[in-house]
Amino acid sequence: MGKRRKIPVVQPDPVRSLHGSIAADALDLHGLHARTAEERVRRFIETWSRREPGAIVRIITGKGTRSEGPAVLRAMTLELMTGELADRVAEWAVEVGGGSYLVRVR
């Protein structure tokens, strides 16, 4: 018989991907004005950051297809996560489909 092949051992990736993770909670911004949505996003992330650091939450912005002009809530949420709330956001990703963000809070 032939040589036996050595099967390589594959180590799991130590960095957990946000995709495929179950969100602990969700905030739906559909139908809100930008100012109200901004306040809710800020409060939501700050609350979860204090309550359970490391938790994954979903922020549903929608795709902005019904907006007049560009998608306001998506851009506003991204700006908050990468600016003012960056110290409370460990990582984020656009969810498959593009209508929401998955966020791991610090």
Mean pLDDT of the chain: 88
- Any domain includes 93: yes
- Any domain includes 9: no
Domain at 93, CATH number:
3.30.1370.110
Domains identified in the chain, total number: 1
Q: How does pLDDT run across 37-47, given as a tens digit for each residue?
A: 999 999 999 99
CA-to-CA separations, 87 to 4, 45, 82, in angstroms, rounded: 52, 11, 9
45-54 long-range contacts, CB within 8 A, separation 24+: 45/80, 45/81, 45/85, 45/88, 45/89, 45/103, 45/105, 46/85, 46/88, 48/24, 48/105, 49/88, 49/105, 49/106, 52/24, 52/105, 53/105, 53/106, 54/90, 54/104, 54/105, 54/106
- Any domain includes 5: no
- The tokens for 1 are 């018989």
- 101 pLDDT tier (thresholds 50, 70, 90): very high
For the residues 43-62, what does the mean pLDDT come to? Answer: 97
- The tokens for 97 are 């489909």
- Any domain includes 19: no
Which range of residues forms the domain containing residue 97? 25-105
The percent of residues above 90 in pLDDT, for the chain, comes to 67
- 104 pLDDT tier (thresholds 50, 70, 90): very high
- Any domain includes 55: yes
Q: How does pLDDT run across 9-31, given as a tens digit for each residue?
A: 665 443 457 888 899 999 999 98
Of 35-39, 49-53, 64-68, 90-94, minimum mean pLDDT range:
64-68
User: CB neighbours of 84 closer than 8 A, spacing ≥ 6?
Assistant: 42
The model's pTM: 0.81
Give the span between the Cα atoms of 41 and 8, in whole angstroms: 45
